[in-house]
Structure 1
Amino acid sequence: MDQRFHEFLEESPIQKYFPDQADVDDQTLPEIRKVISENDAELAYALAEEHLFGMTYPKNVSWAVACYEHVATTTRNASANFMLGVIYGSGLFGQVEMDHSKALVHYTIASELGDRRATMALAYRFYAGIGTPRDYVRAMMYYRSVVEDLIPFLASDSDIGGQHLPDYKIRLSDAGGGLYGEGASLISSSYTNFEDLEDGSIASEHFSDSMRYYAQGLYSHSLEEAYNCFNTAMNSGTSHASDPLSLSDDPSVRVIGRCVAHLGHLYLRGEGCERNYTKAGDFLSAALNLVDDPSVVRRAAYDLGLLFKIDGVNSAEWLPPKEAVRAAFDNKFISNPDNPNSLDSSKVFFYMAQLAGNMEAIVELFPNWISMRDISPQVVRRGSNPYHWLTLAQYHEQNLDIANAAYLYKRIAESVEEETSPLKWTWYQFTRKIGRRYDLSLIGLTIAAEQGYESAQSSLGQLLLPIKSFFQDLEAECKETYLLALNYFSRAADQANYDAMLFLGDVYYKGVTITSDGTKIPPDYRKAGDMYHELLQRKECVQAYFNLGYMYELGRGFSQDFHLAKRFYDMADELGEKSDDPKNKAYFLLAFAKAKLWLKMHLGIHNWFEWVPKLMRSDDL
């Protein structure tokens, strides 16, 4: 795990920066009362910002609330109302009593005053039914208003292929390979997206820096550095590769292919280097010839399709493979495939890209979404151009499929993070080399969680109720912390975070120890079983199958049923593949449980002290 993440989790920053409010309320500042009594709204706002975002430790949120309330009631200040909505909506780690009604009022006022952040938070409350009945119509309306405000930015044709949008939606658990560790977690991580690289391989030391282009993980967004990193990785790899222009399963060659494709992408868009269509075509075509990797085809074929759409750009050296031309012809995307002079190469490349999983290529192949009735809203991917999905959202809205329309508008609005969320600022405070501010990172995560960003909700849940080891009991500072953690994990689970769903099941199954008074919140086996069943309805999971088998075997939460237990154990066995350490532990438990269940079903052995004499007498031995 990244040392910064480790320090952050071990430091218990919530208790450090946001202690029990009773410990700080007695230190009342006379200046606060004086400012409020003198009706100085400008100074009151400055004091509120200082007490919440300044260098004062520990934070006294009550003082900040008093100042914000004064500003909100005496002036039309959108920011003050927005921060009051955040504080009342989240409770800010127990600093104030959570009040969803007040949060809704302040978010509404801030939104009406033009605060885009508040509109996002308001939309999410209606979308998820937080403090108000779930209302997809209102959620769609608010998300759509945010998207409409962003259309001039999203529709800009200054960049070939659309706007480049950095991605700051990471989770604290990403640095460790996910909530349950590398290989055992269900949610993939952008931060640890180098599973095919071995430590010390030719390109691995450079390729991680290429994430600067996407600003994924904790890397800063620098197109010039991204260009240099891609170039260095390509050169260091190809100089050692025995046959770099052949198909290969060598991880280093696959990475080189990705670097070559990204360099072509940079030359096409003029990012980090001078725009050069000739170099773009050469690099993109070389990437397709270098390695048979779907991630390379998704990027390089799509970019070549865009390149061939540019007037005056054409080259016989970049023509698509003959088998791709024939396949595109067979599927009626092109006509007359045998004449290179009339070949629509862009359509062929877009066809190759969509076969490799590039959903943006569908927009180029089917510009009229109305004919694409079977396209699911779930095709909106991280990293895709959100402007492409606006037509699809409008299509669902026109056909009164309001839930899917709201989902699409939400995804589009959330993708423009630098315009709608504090995530960039949050991770800057976390990573800055001088004056690192973990306290501001916590506030930023809270704001993003209120706006509906699943990554922030998952991160806060982990901070409040961390998983310390595979077998260790769960512990929470106090009951309020436990309930707040469940709240964040539940919201993340509602947004398809399958690790959060599995963890909620584990929390209900194990129970939680409250460290402040030593009490134990008992297990709720029925809730645990229901959560595991709900997870399996949405995604297959070895651990969920195993847990349900164990519960049916022991009769915990359900009536004891050995046959159903065996079925779940068998399904876990069929689904899983042995990989790394966390999953191997589950497989050891699975083998042990299946052997134990066989003894119960066939020999009636329920007490392990009697298994030897019974086995000695058994003809089945």
Structure 2
Amino acid sequence: MSENTSDAASQYLLGFLYASGLKGVEQDQSRALLYYTFAAIQGLPEAEMTLGFRYWMGIGVKEDCMRALDWYESVAHKAYANFISGPPGGKTLPLSPTRLSDLAGGVYGMGASVASTGHLAKRPAIKAANSLAGGENFDDVLQYYQYHSDRNHHEYSVILGRIHYVGSVYSVPGGVASGAEAVGETVQSYKLASYYFTRAAHAYWGPEVPKLDPKTGGLPPAGIAAAYLGRMYLRGEGVEQDFVMARMWLKRSSDLGEKEGHNLLGIMYRDGLGVPINIGSAKAYFQAAAQMELAEAKVHLGKFAATSNNQVEGEPKSMAHYTWALGNGNPFEAFYHLGLIHAKAARLENPALAKKTGTCGVAVSYLKSMVERGSWEYDMMGEADAAWKRGEKTTALIRWWIAGEMGYEIAQNNVAFLLDQGDSKSGKLSKSVYTFSPADKADIAQDPALSALVHWIRSAGQQNVDSLVKVGDCYYQGIGVTDGENRYEKAAGSYQSAADTQASAVAFWNLGWMYENGLGVAQDWHLAKRYYDLCSQTDPEAEWPVMLSLIKLYLRSWWAQLTGGKQKHLALFGLRKPMIEDGLPGLKSAQANRQPSIEDEMDEVTWARSRQRDELEDSYDDYLETGRTARRNSRMDGGADGSEEGDLLETISIALLVIGFSTLMWWRGRVARQREEREQAERRARGQVPPDAERRADPNAPLGFVPAAPVQI
């Protein structure tokens, strides 16, 4: 039916069926591209994003960054127009989607996955996973806050108001405009939000003189409450829009030094909302908020700089403001404006030069992140999350699959995670809420294992290290691949790429195993040991498993040496353990220390940078740190002592094992000799002593001499 209609949505879904092979449709990437293109030409955002992602990644087409940029820029303009069509300050951003694997502590579980180690363990999804594992739920959290709010501890009233305002327990760092996380989603209620904010505000501006907070000695947090109340009146959220009331509350908030109050007053003076337009006052308020590190205020200052008469100075200043806002939590406007600046630069350059300098890739990464965040008209991720919470797992899976085609890494990870559950050589089906039965999988996808591998690969291509390790696992175990595909070589390559990030303990251990057993790589005891050592350094909790692996490795190396192996055995008292900073064959050297911040979460930006890393010199900053930063800081704070203690403990353990092994061999030989002597004594007593035994009994007998048997009389 869709083949004979010009309906863009129908053509897009037909393209999706050909691309995915769902419901028995034969996969045909050429047809998928054709129908995606038909839909994109008609301006369907989902199709434009899909083509942008395919041209950037080279899926079914030749990789072409400039064509990807064209498609993403088209969607970005529509998303931004949608944003500014909302109330003052722009539309509220949709909740940030969540990886299902994060709720399980990561693909490999809590602590073993990169997703739940280092500074990444502080993310809301991991915090929620820990809370749920401990038997807590969000209702308990709300009851706790309610208990204290009822006793006039109004810092809790403000927290309750914020939760009901954004509709989530977890807010995104960067200010109110940065949105909230879907992982802590609750029922949004502007009425309840207004109630709690008003309680906190009246505690300060009521008829009585405010009392000092008994805990902190400070005034109740009325400034924050007033800022929210002013925002709600300014935007008409839960109340009738009233600029007079908005200005009153925002002025009160600003007088108490609240940054959100400064910022919203700046918007009122800039746009003339209930007050005469006054650019000077607007800039002053934005400056005050920016000095208090509010990302949204920095974006406003960037806009002023971009529209100044002096473009020679204006553009660098605007870029500086946008870059700061991007790095401190603004997930939408900063990406949009920076993306356009880089897109303009990419088009002014020679196409080959734009690819070499990475300008095009950075522009695409900014715009891709922006359009995925501003998904009001194509919220496939939100629909999938809602279906999952309703228990409609198949519907959620298909929605995530479509979003994965649009380029959402989280969706790709979710599809792979769900299809991968229970897939192993043992055939055992894991029991969890994420598990589909084999029949359900087969009803959805023709080859679930292959589809899972494809999505792991796409997720890994967007800088998800755990997904990259998982790709190696699929090749190693032969899941979704054939036996003739050089499985072990590809597995080792995936593990090596993951190890290059210096963030995955699992990748280091797997590489150690591959080198120990000579699978996909040449067998090498010393490289195996180095990777095992790096595993324990990356994740201290892996110290004991690594120690067992090292003991086995030492014994194997010595046994191979004793049995004529060509490799030199491992020395018991060798050099110090290799540090991650030392580098290994295939490992990139560690970068300079930086403190982890909100920009560490921006995978898309890092993706573009990593794709051009070998060609770039110093054109752009890196917006992602891996877990090595926290580990290196830990070593600087005394981690070196712990490393030395670990070396000593390992050496002592191996030495004790060698002594025990040697003692066991000696005792075994001694028992064998005693048994042989008893048997010989019994034979002599029966007159059955072998000639060799007599010769051994007479060491002076010449070789070949056999004593005569005794004469019987």
> Could you tell me the TM-score, scaled by structure 1's length?
0.63
Aligned to 1:593: 549
Aligned to 1:217: 183
What's the CA shift for 1:105? 0.7
Q: Take 1:311 and 1:124, find their aligned partners in 2: how far apart are those partners?
A: 38
What's the CA shift for 1:279? 5.2
Query: 5+ unaligned residues in a row in structure 2: which ranges?
Result: 146-158, 169-179, 202-210, 240-244, 271-280, 307-313, 347-358, 431-437, 564-653, 667-713
Aligned to 2:301: 364
Within 5 A, what are the aligned runs for 1:270-419? 270=233, 274=239, 276=246, 301=259, 303-307=260-264, 309=266, 346-353=286-293, 358=295, 361=298, 364=301, 367-368=305-306, 370-371=315-316, 380=326, 384-400=330-346, 401-419=359-377
Q: Take 1:119 and 1:221, find their aligned partners in 2: how far apart are those partners?
A: 32
Q: Take 1:383 and 1:370, find their aligned partners in 2: how far apart are those partners?
A: 21
User: Contact 2:197–2:229 at 8 Å: present in 1 too?
Assistant: no
Aligned to 2:12, which of 64, 82, 86?
Answer: 82
Aligned to 2:107: 179
Aligned to 1:484: 451
What's the CA shift for 1:374? 8.2
Query: 5+ unaligned residues in a row in structure 1: which ranges?
Result: 1-66, 247-255, 289-299, 314-340, 579-585
Secondary structure of the corresponding residue to residue 496 of structure 1: coil
Aligned residue identity for 1:110: A
User: Contact 2:65–2:361 at 8 Å: present in 1 too?
Assistant: yes
- Answering whether residue 487 of structure 2 is matched by residue 524 of structure 1, we say yes
Of residues 393-402 and 341-350 in structure 1, the stretch that sits farther from structure 2 once superposed is 341-350
Aligned to 1:133: 62
What's the CA shift for 1:107? 1.1
Cα displacement string for residues 149-176 of structure 1 (whole angstroms, at most 9, x for unaligned residues): 233222347333x431112522222332
Within 5 A, what are the aligned runs for 1:25-104? 67-68=1-2, 72-73=3-4, 75-92=5-22, 95-104=24-33
Larger radius of gyration: 2
User: Contact 2:98–2:182 at 8 Å: present in 1 too?
Assistant: yes
- Answering whether residue 447 of structure 2 is matched by residue 447 of structure 1, we say no
Residues 83 and 605 (structure 1), Cα distance of their counterparts in 2 relative to 1, 3 Å cut:
same
What's the CA shift for 1:352? 3.8
User: Contact 1:513–1:520 at 8 Å: present in 2 too?
Assistant: no
User: Contact 1:140–1:406 at 8 Å: present in 2 too?
Assistant: yes
User: Contact 2:229–2:249 at 8 Å: present in 1 too?
Assistant: no
Residues 418 and 242 (structure 1), Cα distance of their counterparts in 2 relative to 1, 3 Å cut:
same
User: Contact 1:305–1:345 at 8 Å: present in 2 too?
Assistant: yes
Q: Take 1:261 and 1:195, find their aligned partners in 2: how far apart are those partners?
A: 29
Aligned to 2:470: 503
- Answering whether residue 519 of structure 2 is matched by residue 556 of structure 1, we say yes
What's the CA shift for 1:596? 3.3
Residues 594 and 370 (structure 1), Cα distance of their counterparts in 2 relative to 1, 3 Å cut:
farther
Aligned to 1:147: 76
User: Contact 1:603–1:614 at 8 Å: present in 2 too?
Assistant: no
Count of residues paired in the alignment: 475
Aligned residue identity for 1:390: Y
User: Contact 1:473–1:510 at 8 Å: present in 2 too?
Assistant: no
What's the CA shift for 1:132? 0.8
User: Contact 2:267–2:282 at 8 Å: present in 1 too?
Assistant: no
Residues 234 and 349 (structure 1), Cα distance of their counterparts in 2 relative to 1, 3 Å cut:
same
Residues 544 and 351 (structure 1), Cα distance of their counterparts in 2 relative to 1, 3 Å cut:
farther
What's the CA shift for 1:178? 2.5
User: Contact 1:104–1:131 at 8 Å: present in 2 too?
Assistant: yes
> Could you tell me the TM-score, scaled by structure 2's length?
0.56
User: Contact 1:110–1:118 at 8 Å: present in 2 too?
Assistant: yes
Within 5 A, what are the aligned runs for 1:606-621? 612-614=660-662
Q: Take 1:84 and 1:96, find their aligned partners in 2: how far apart are those partners?
A: 10
Residues 113 and 561 (structure 1), Cα distance of their counterparts in 2 relative to 1, 3 Å cut:
same
Residues 572 and 414 (structure 1), Cα distance of their counterparts in 2 relative to 1, 3 Å cut:
same
Aligned to 1:568, which of 519, 524, 531?
Answer: 531
What's the CA shift for 1:195? 7.6
Residues 603 and 429 (structure 1), Cα distance of their counterparts in 2 relative to 1, 3 Å cut:
closer
Residues 186 and 230 (structure 1), Cα distance of their counterparts in 2 relative to 1, 3 Å cut:
farther
Of residues 555-564 and 394-403 in structure 1, the stretch that sits farther from structure 2 once superposed is 555-564
Q: Take 1:365 and 1:385, find their aligned partners in 2: how far apart are those partners?
A: 15
Q: Take 1:378 and 1:502, find their aligned partners in 2: how far apart are those partners?
A: 33
Q: Take 1:375 and 1:603, find their aligned partners in 2: how far apart are those partners?
A: 63
Secondary structure of the corresponding residue to residue 369 of structure 2: helix
Within 5 A, what are the aligned runs for 1:139-288? 139-156=68-85, 158-160=87-89, 162-187=90-115, 190-194=124-128, 199=136, 212-213=167-168, 214=180, 216-217=182-183, 219=185, 222-224=188-190, 227=193, 243-244=215-216, 264-265=227-228, 267-270=230-233, 274=239, 276=246
What's the CA shift for 1:506? 2.2
Secondary structure of the corresponding residue to residue 139 of structure 1: helix
